[in-house]
Chain A
Amino acid sequence: MTGFERFAESFFNPTLIGRYWPEIVSGMLITVEIALAVVATGIMLGFGLACVRSYRVLPLNAFIVVFVDVFRALPPLVLILILYFGLPNIGLNLSAFTVLWLVLSLVLAAFAEEILWAGILSVRKGQWDAARSTGLGFGQTLVSVILPQAVRLAIPPLTNRTIAITKNTALGSVIGVSEVIYQAQSAVSFSGNATPLMMAAIGYLLIFAPVVALGSFIERRFAWRRA
């Protein structure tokens, strides 16, 4: 066996590809599922918090700032372990899937709140004055005048952050969520061969490369705004 054949044998073994592709694909589906759930809840919650914050109710804002700071400062894996191993001890049994979804959603919400809030603050005060002087209420001004401008500023950083956080779905493997890398690792230990790992890498690329490309496109499209 030449060196190349040995390499191909251990990393791109056709038999093993044939045997394990259903597992890898089911792992990919789970990854996509969690990622979509995280994006939906995280961004919605983050935007909701930013809107609440703009009403500037002191105790609420203090709560939001603490929430955002904590979830920006803590590694998601730490939060995942605390919830997954801690909650059953106080009688709360959440599935690994739920814990992963919850933690990543909260982390994304914290970052999304911060990014949108920065966007809201960067809209000039005159916009509020103009809208309020025509009789628009606070909420109407926020929705019709301020948010459209704030979201526009928020989209490029938010896209990047969203990609980075949804990639953390791989952390689910640590608590046994059967997403791609988890499937691959168990396949590796059964087969004693690295092929499933390469399949997993390709699986992630298939999922996230288009998202990254979309992100770059969005960033270029909105670049003029920052000039």
Chain B
Amino acid sequence: MQLSVAQGAGAVRVSPILQVRGLTKRFGPLEVLKGIDFAVAPQELVFVIGPSGSGKSTLLRCCNRLEDADSGSILLDGVELMDPKCDLNAMRRRIGMVFQSFNLYPHLTVLGNVTLAMRKVLGKSRREADEIGLAALDRVGLADKAAAYPAALSGGQQQRVAIARALCLNPKVMLFDEPTSALDPELVGSVLAVMRDLREAGMTMVVVSHEMRFAREAADRIVFMEAGCIVEEGPPEQIFSAPANARTRAFVAEIAR
């Protein structure tokens, strides 16, 4: 069931790897997502922008059901995540997630953080897991910190470990929830560099972030959300230089200052 997914320019033409349809979510009286339709093609980097409270993070958290949407459909590689019979844990490890506050496990070493899921979920031996974990840490430039505890690392290093933790489960798509918002300005670059490397290696990524420079240079497509709806989407040039929608224009003008 390959539908045409996105409207307007930048529509996905290959079959999407992640496809969200009619997603709604409310917290009490507050309607956070009002029927989101959204798709991501393999190897695509999609940037989700919008004012705070627009539902970006909730959308991301619904994509691996850390937050349960009220209705709608989420297909990952053709598997329906909203299906009650879906093996959620098996699906989740194919969706890497990186959090604003890193959420490293403070009681485990860096290598322990990275290998926990491989050992517990994939049932890999400690040796095998360590090997894969070290390779992932090497990829984010932190192989030398394998034995350290998270508390001994800078914020940027912690976030790179968190990326390695998601990476070594070999995910089909990675979700980034404001990965640089909690970092001191001078540490942001190292995390963005890792994300750039991932993109060049062909990782499919959905990023919620305020790093507009990065969005402009690295994103394939920008999705602008406001008040629980996708207002406009398209390639960066269009969204940043010639947005069609007045609200997009206002938001872009606001952040450009």
What is A's interface to B at a CB cutoff of 8 Å?
124, 126-127, 129-137, 140, 144-145, 148-149, 152
Residues of B within 8 A of A134 (CB): 92-93, 96-97, 116-117, 121, 165-166, 169
Q: Are B92 and A148 in contact (CB under 8 A)?
A: no
Q: Which of A135, A140, A149 meets B106, CB within 8 Å? A: A149
Residues of B within 8 A of A140 (CB): 120-121
Given contacts A130-B105, A144-B120, A149-B107, contact A135 B169 (CB under 8 A): yes
CB of B162 closer than 8 Å to a CB of A = yes
Within the complex, the shortest CB–CB distance from B69 to chain A, in Å, comes to 16
The distance in angstroms between the C-alpha atoms of A131 and B106, with both chains bound, is: 12
Q: Which of A130, A132, A137, A148 meets B162, CB within 8 Å? A: A130
How many residues belonging to B are interface residues under a CB distance threshold of 8 Å? 28
Q: Are B103 and A130 in contact (CB under 8 A)?
A: yes
The distance in angstroms between the C-alpha atoms of A100 and B102, with both chains bound, is: 48
Residues of B within 8 A of A135 (CB): 89-93, 117, 121, 169
Q: Mark B87-126, 1 if CB is under 8 A from A, else 0.
A: 0011111011101011111111000000011001100000
Within the complex, the shortest CB–CB distance from B56 to chain A, in Å, comes to 16
CB of B30 closer than 8 Å to a CB of A = no
Q: Mark B126-166, 1 if CB is under 8 A from A, else 0.
A: 00000000000000000000000000000000000010011
List 5 additional contacts besides A133-B97, A134-B117; criterion CB under 8 Å. Answer: A126-B99, A129-B61, A130-B103, A135-B91, A149-B106
Q: Are A133 and B121 in contact (CB under 8 A)?
A: no
Within the complex, the shortest CB–CB distance from A224 to chain B, in Å, comes to 11
Q: Are B89 and A136 in contact (CB under 8 A)?
A: yes
Within the complex, the shortest CB–CB distance from A56 to chain B, in Å, comes to 14
Given contacts A126-B99, A140-B121, contact A133 B66 (CB under 8 A): yes
The distance in angstroms between the C-alpha atoms of A148 and B103, with both chains bound, is: 15
> Considering residues A127, A131, A134, A140, which has the most beta carbons from chain B within 10 angstroms of its beta carbon?
A134
Q: Are A133 and B101 in contact (CB under 8 A)?
A: no
Residues of B within 8 A of A132 (CB): 66, 89, 92
Within the complex, the shortest CB–CB distance from A194 to chain B, in Å, comes to 52
The distance in angstroms between the C-alpha atoms of A151 and B97, with both chains bound, is: 27
Within the complex, the shortest CB–CB distance from A49 to chain B, in Å, comes to 22
A152's nearest neighbour on chain B, judged by CB, is B107
The distance in angstroms between the C-alpha atoms of A145 and B165, with both chains bound, is: 14
Q: List 10 A-B contacts (CB under 8 A).
A: A126-B102, A127-B103, A131-B116, A131-B117, A132-B92, A134-B169, A135-B121, A135-B169, A137-B89, A140-B121
Q: Are A127 and B116 in contact (CB under 8 A)?
A: no
Residues of A within 8 A of B166 (CB): 133-134
Q: Which of B61, B104, B120, B162 meets A136, CB within 8 Å? A: B120
Given contacts A133-B95, A137-B89, contact A144 B116 (CB under 8 A): yes
The distance in angstroms between the C-alpha atoms of A129 and B101, with both chains bound, is: 11
The distance in angstroms between the C-alpha atoms of A130 and B61, with both chains bound, is: 11
CB of B64 closer than 8 Å to a CB of A = yes
Residues of A within 8 A of B66 (CB): 129, 132-133
4 cross-chain pairs, A with B, having the tightest CB-CB distances, nearest first: A135-B93, A130-B103, A134-B117, A126-B103
Within the complex, the shortest CB–CB distance from A142 to chain B, in Å, comes to 12
- Give chain B interface residues in 61-77, CB to chain A under 8 Å: 61, 64, 66
Given contacts A134-B116, A136-B116, contact A129 B90 (CB under 8 A): no
B93's nearest neighbour on chain A, judged by CB, is A135
Within the complex, the shortest CB–CB distance from A216 to chain B, in Å, comes to 24
A143's nearest neighbour on chain B, judged by CB, is B120
Within the complex, the shortest CB–CB distance from B92 to chain A, in Å, comes to 4
Given contacts A127-B105, A130-B105, A137-B89, contact A145 B116 (CB under 8 A): yes
Q: Are B121 and A129 in contact (CB under 8 A)?
A: no
Q: Which of B90, B91, B101 meets A126, CB within 8 Å? A: B101
Q: Are A130 and B104 in contact (CB under 8 A)?
A: yes
A139's nearest neighbour on chain B, judged by CB, is B120
The distance in angstroms between the C-alpha atoms of A152 and B108, with both chains bound, is: 13
The distance in angstroms between the C-alpha atoms of A135 and B61, with both chains bound, is: 14
Residues of A within 8 A of B121 (CB): 134-136, 140
The distance in angstroms between the C-alpha atoms of A116 and B62, with both chains bound, is: 30
- Give chain B interface residues in 15-38, CB to chain A under 8 Å: none
